[in-house]
């Protein structure tokens, strides 16, 4: 029985109608999770390019020793902006874009739990990013590195507005992120279709749930750290002032208590994508589903107990280092479990090498390399030679690009047909994959060597006599290959948007709920909310089950395979609203005012309160209740 027999083809709504109809205003006021997802996607793509160009400028400067292309201050600003943008304004929002588009569809919901809050999260992300980048024309880019260690970032050693832009922009973005965490946590717990038990959730949704929890627990400590930094800088407090009896190392703790879970925030969604893509393209359900789920939970949990591994050279003493080094190593176990289960899923399958699958396989191969260098860092004495060198830079680009970025590209190729109703070109997709894969390895593999041979990170130049010239040159060449790697991607997106082949509801013969609705999905997603009676509901009516749950059909439900063309009864959807935007603007104004004008802060507060009250007293959905 193939899925095409089941999958309802609702006809092709096509790209330019339905989801995409309506003018700018309809996008500004939208509270539809799919549209917000697309806004997130496009915005973070722009930030990715900007940060990518910054990365390439770094590489250009390092192409040869004692280069004088960038002056040191500019270089320092660029790596700070590159890291900060990649993590907070490209990586995370790109992930949230996928949460937005995919999660409600995967759980059989019509929207997220709080659509207007969702819109607010988007505006705060956009405004925080724009605010950070307004430091560029003002020539006040932050230059403290993405983890902004005190006391270099105090007002004494970093006068000027640079670090204020960093602090305030991340505070603003953090509020939106925490709101998003609450939103997705509640959505996934509460809005699952009938029968969608936890052990039937698609893996991507599972990871979204775990990541929401990570956000909720990891961002508050960061927020507190940022507030301390802001107070130290602006109001003369002494949170990190050694002369006043404080300890500047506290900042490092607060940052990494957040920062390490943050890297799992960045990787787990990619793991989720891959856990959905590999089964779909192997035509075989995920091997060891419960184990893959629990290993994700374990990674997240352990992730809170390892932060000191970023501080092995601080001199915290043998006991602390041993405990945190050991805890860090433990994480290799659940991560390995995932890797092995993915391979076991492919084992015995019928593997189709479409672009999503190529990126997924690329992730398994590349992430392993990054993970293994992670384990080398996890040994505190060994790390004394590695920390703050290009060996670390190699590690984290392997996990961030070979992991997060590959995973997100995989997801992009996988869900693009769902989002637009059009197919991407496989030829261009494959070109994109191979170019990216090669460019990535050429850029970052040599950094292992340059690091071990003595190249510290965050240095705008290096001496000729160090023997680092060749490795750096190769890295720079690789970075430029990246530019070409992006060409097929953009060609592909543009071509598909203009004249891609219609996709149909389920072009990949994939097993999860999002593939039952038309592509692009209607405003209300599901004409009738389906009842789910098994994992992978579009596959295998009755299956033998090894480790997991054995299928039983719940009576009285609506089969996910039969989505009628039109909803049988009127569906109430939330109305568009501009209050989130008003509130977002208010908060932006407050943030900008915090650079030095109490009056502007108060103005922003007034606008925020206006937005809040408008929001609270606006009927949220026509005719509801």
Partner 1 sequence: MGAVVLQGCNGEYPQSALHPSSDFATRLDDLFTQIVWWAAGVFVIVEGALIYTIIRFRARPGAPRPKEVHGHIAMEIGWTLAPALILVAIAIPTIQTIFIVDRPTTDEDALVIEAIGRQWWWEFRYPELGIVTANEAHVPVGRTVDLRLRSADVLHSFWVPRLGGKRDLVPGHENQLWFKPDSVGVFWGQCAEYCGTAHALMGTRVIVDEPADFDAWVALNQGSAVALTDPQSRAGRGVFMANACVSCHAVRGSAAVGQFGPDLTHFGGRLTLGAGILENTRENVIRWLDSTQHIKPGSLMPDVELSDEQLEQLAAYLLALR
Partner 2 sequence: MSGKSGATAGHSTEPHVSNRFYVAIAVILAVFTALEVMVFYVEALAPFLFAILMVLMVVKFALVVMFFMHLKFDRPLLTGVFAGGLFMAIFVIVALMAVFGKFG
Partner 3 sequence: MEGPSSTGVSNRKLAMWTFIGSECMLFGTLIATYLIYRGRNVVGPYPDELLNIPFITVTTFVLLMSSLMMVLALAAIERNDLKKTKIWLFMTALFGLIFLGGQYYEFNHFVHEGLPLSRNLFSSTFFVLTGTHGGHVAGGVIWLGTLFVRATQGKLDATHAETVEIAGLYWHFVDVIWIVLFTLIYLLV
What lies within 8 Å, CB to CB, of 453 at 6+ separation is: 466, 467, 468, 471
Which structure tokens are listed for 183?
């939103």
275 burial (CB, 10 Å; 0-12 / 13-18 / 19+) is: buried
Which of the listed partners (partner 3, ligand HEA, Cu ion, none) does 220 bind, with a CB threshold of 5 to 8 Å by partner kind? partner 3
Give yes or no for residue 411 binding ligand HEA (CB under 6 A): no
Give yes or no for residue 495 binding ligand HEA (CB under 6 A): no
3-state SS, residue 7: coil
- Which of 140, 351, 375, 605 is the binder for ligand HEA (CB under 6 A)? 375
At what angle are helices 426-452 and 406-420 packed, to 10 degrees? 160
Give yes or no for residue 253 binding Cu ion (CB under 5 A): no
CA atoms within 13 A of residue 325's CA, in its CB half-sphere: 18
Q: Mark 331-350 with x for binding to partner 1 (rule: CB under 8 A) and - for no binding.
A: -xx--xx-xxx-xx-xxxxx
Question: Minimal distance in Å, beta carbon 524 to partner 2?
Answer: 18
Question: Minimal distance in Å, beta carbon 163 to partner 2?
Answer: 24
Question: Minimal distance in Å, beta carbon 333 to Cu ion?
Answer: 16
Give yes or no for residue 403 binding ligand HEA (CB under 6 A): yes
Which of the listed partners (Cu ion, partner 3, partner 2, none) does 260 bind, with a CB threshold of 5 to 8 Å by partner kind? Cu ion
Q: What angle do CA 121, 218, 112 make, to 5 degrees?
A: 35
Give yes or no for residue 71 binding partner 2 (CB under 8 A): no
Dist. CA 425–CA 442, nearest whole Å: 26
3-state SS, residue 389: strand
Question: Minimal distance in Å, beta carbon 484 to ligand HEA?
Answer: 9
Which structure tokens are listed for 304?
């809170």
Dist. CA 126–CA 95, nearest whole Å: 15
Could you tell me how many residues make up the chain? 625
How many angstroms separate the Cα of 127 from the Cα of each of 28, 187, 212?
Answer: 13, 25, 21
Q: Which is nearer to partner 1, 144 or 520 (CB)?
A: 144
Region of 61-69, 255-263, 288-296, 443-451 interacting with Cu ion (CB under 5 A): 255-263
Which of the listed partners (partner 3, Cu ion, partner 2, none) does 490 bind, with a CB threshold of 5 to 8 Å by partner kind? none
Question: Minimal distance in Å, beta carbon 374 to partner 2?
Answer: 21
Question: Minimal distance in Å, beta carbon 213 to partner 2?
Answer: 8
Interacting positions 519-538 with partner 2 (CB under 8 A): 531
Which residue, chain included where needed, has tokens 């703790």?
253
Q: Which is nearer to partner 1, 33 or 59 (CB)?
A: 59
Which structure tokens are listed for 434?
């191979």
Region of 48-56, 140-148, 212-220, 496-504 interacting with partner 2 (CB under 8 A): 212-220
Judged by CB under 8 A, how many residues of this single chain contact partner 1?
96
Q: Which is nearer to ligand HEA, 49 or 453 (CB)?
A: 49
Give yes or no for residue 459 binding partner 1 (CB under 8 A): yes
CA atoms within 13 A of residue 281's CA, in its CB half-sphere: 23
Judged by CB under 8 A, how many residues of this single chain contact partner 2?
24
Interacting positions 115-154 with ligand HEA (CB under 6 A): 145-146
Give yes or no for residue 470 binding partner 1 (CB under 8 A): no
3-state SS, residue 422: strand
Check residue 306 and report its DSSP letter.
Answer: -
Q: What is the number of other CB atoms lying within 10 angstroms of the CB of residue 44?
A: 26
3-state SS, residue 456: strand
Dist. CA 371–CA 76, nearest whole Å: 27
Omega of the bond leading into 550 within 30 degrees of 0 (cis): no
Q: Which is nearer to partner 1, 42 or 242 (CB)?
A: 242
Interacting positions 157-216 with partner 1 (CB under 8 A): 157
What lies within 8 Å, CB to CB, of 539 at 6+ separation is: 3, 285, 511
3-state SS, residue 283: coil
Q: Which is nearer to ligand HEA, 172 or 442 (CB)?
A: 442
Give yes or no for residue 610 binding partner 1 (CB under 8 A): no
Which residue, chain included where needed, has tokens 């705060």?
124
Give yes or no for residue 472 binding partner 1 (CB under 8 A): no
Interacting positions 22-61 with partner 1 (CB under 8 A): none
Dist. CA 545–CA 551, nearest whole Å: 8
Q: Which is nearer to partner 1, 359 or 460 (CB)?
A: 460
621, β-bridge pairs: 574
Check residue 217 and report its DSSP letter.
Answer: H
Phi, psi of 621 (to 5 degrees): -150, 135
Give yes or no for residue 257 binding partner 2 (CB under 8 A): yes
Give yes or no for residue 341 binding ligand HEA (CB under 6 A): no
Region of 162-170, 377-385, 429-437, 484-492 interacting with partner 1 (CB under 8 A): 377-385
Q: Which is nearer to partner 3, 227 or 473 (CB)?
A: 227
Interacting positions 512-531 with partner 1 (CB under 8 A): none
Q: Which is nearer to partner 1, 336 or 564 (CB)?
A: 336
3-state secondary structure 567-603: CCCCCCCECCCCHHHHHHHHHHHHHHHCCCCHHHHHH
Q: Which is nearer to partner 1, 6 or 110 (CB)?
A: 6
What residues make contact with partner 2 under the rule CB under 8 A?
A: 189, 192, 194-198, 213, 216-217, 221, 247, 250, 253, 257, 304-305, 308, 316, 320, 531, 554, 556-557
Residues near ligand HEA (CB under 6 A) = 48-49, 52-53, 55-56, 58-59, 79-80, 82-83, 86-87, 91, 145-146, 263, 266-267, 309-310, 312, 328, 331-332, 335-336, 339, 368, 371-372, 374-375, 377-378, 383, 386-387, 392-393, 395-397, 399-401, 403-405, 443, 457-458, 479, 482-483, 486, 490
């Amino acid at each position: 029985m193939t899925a095409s027999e089941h999958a309802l083809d609702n006809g092709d709504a096509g790209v330019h109608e339905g989801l995409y109809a309506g003018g700018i205003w309809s996008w500004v006021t939208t509270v539809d999770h799919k549209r917000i997802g697309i806004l997130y996607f496009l915005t973070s793509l722009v930030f990715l390019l900007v940060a990518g160009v910054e990365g390439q400028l770094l590489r250009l400067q390092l192409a040869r020793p004692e280069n004088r292309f960038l002056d040191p201050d500019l270089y320092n600003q660029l790596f700070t902006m590159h890291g900060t943008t990649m993590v907070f304004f490209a990586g995370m929002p790109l992930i949230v874009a996928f949460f937005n588009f995919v999660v409600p569809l995967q759980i059989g919901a019509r929207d997220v739990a709080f659509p207007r809050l969702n819109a607010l999260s988007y505006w705060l992300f956009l405004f925080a990013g724009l605010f950070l980048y307004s430091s560029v024309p003002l020539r006040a880019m932050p230059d403290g590195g993405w983890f902004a260690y005190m006391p270099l970032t105090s007002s004494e050693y970093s006068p000027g507005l640079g670090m204020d832009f960093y602090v305030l922009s991340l505070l603003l973005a953090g509020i939106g992120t925490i709101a998003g965490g609450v939103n997705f946590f509640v959505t996934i717990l509460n809005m699952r279709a009938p029968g969608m038990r936890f052990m039937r959730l698609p893996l991507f949704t599972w990871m979204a749930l775990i990541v929401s929890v990570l956000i909720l627990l990891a961002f508050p400590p960061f927020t507190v750290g940022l507030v301390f930094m802001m107070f130290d800088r602006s109001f003369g407090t002494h949170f990190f002032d050694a002369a006043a009896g404080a300890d500047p190392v506290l900042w490092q703790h607060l940052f990494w208590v957040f920062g390490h879970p943050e890297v799992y925030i960045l990787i787990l969604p990619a793991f989720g994508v891959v856990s959905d893509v590999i089964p779909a393209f192997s035509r075989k359900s995920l091997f060891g589903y419960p184990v893959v789920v629990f290993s994700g939970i374990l990674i997240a949990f352990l992730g809170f107990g390892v932060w000191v591994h970023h501080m092995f050279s601080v001199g915290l003493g043998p006991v602390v280092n041993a405990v945190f080094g050991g805890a860090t190593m433990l994480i290799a176990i659940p991560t390995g479990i995932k890797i092995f289960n993915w391979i076991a899923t492919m084992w015995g399958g019928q593997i189709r090498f479409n672009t999503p699958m190529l990126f997924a396989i690329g992730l398994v191969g590349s992430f392993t390399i990054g993970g293994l260098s992670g384990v080398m860092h996890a040994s505190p004495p060994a790390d004394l030679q590695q920390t703050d060198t290009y060996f670390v830079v190699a590690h984290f680009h392997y996990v961030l690009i070979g992991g997060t970025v590959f995973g997100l590209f995989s997801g992009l190729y996988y869900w693009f047909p769902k989002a637009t109703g059009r197919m991407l070109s496989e030829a261009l997709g494959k070109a994109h994959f191979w170019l990216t894969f090669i460019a990535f390895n050429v850029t970052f593999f040599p950094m292992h060597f340059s690091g071990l041979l003595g190249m510290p990170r965050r240095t705008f130049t290096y001496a000729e006599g160090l023997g680092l010239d060749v490795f750096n040159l190769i890295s720079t060449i690789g970075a430029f290959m990246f530019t070409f790697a992006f060409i097929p991607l953009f060609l592909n997106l543009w071509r598909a948007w203009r004249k891609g082949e219609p996709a149909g509801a389920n072009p990949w013969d994939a097993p999860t709920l999002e593939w039952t609705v038309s592509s692009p999905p209607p405003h209300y997603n599901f004409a009738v909310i389906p009842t789910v009676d098994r994992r992978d509901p579009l596959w295998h009516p009755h299956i033998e089950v090894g480790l997991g749950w054995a299928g039983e059909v719940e009576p009285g439900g609506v089969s996910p395979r039969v989505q009628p063309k039109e909803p049988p009864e009127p569906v109430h959807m939330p109305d568009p609203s501009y209050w989130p935007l008003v509130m977002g603007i208010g908060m932006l104004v407050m943030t900008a005012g915090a650079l030095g004008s109490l009056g502007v802060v108060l103005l922003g507060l007034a606008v925020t309160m206006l937005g809040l009250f408008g929001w609270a007293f606006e009927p949220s959905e026509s005719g509801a209740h």
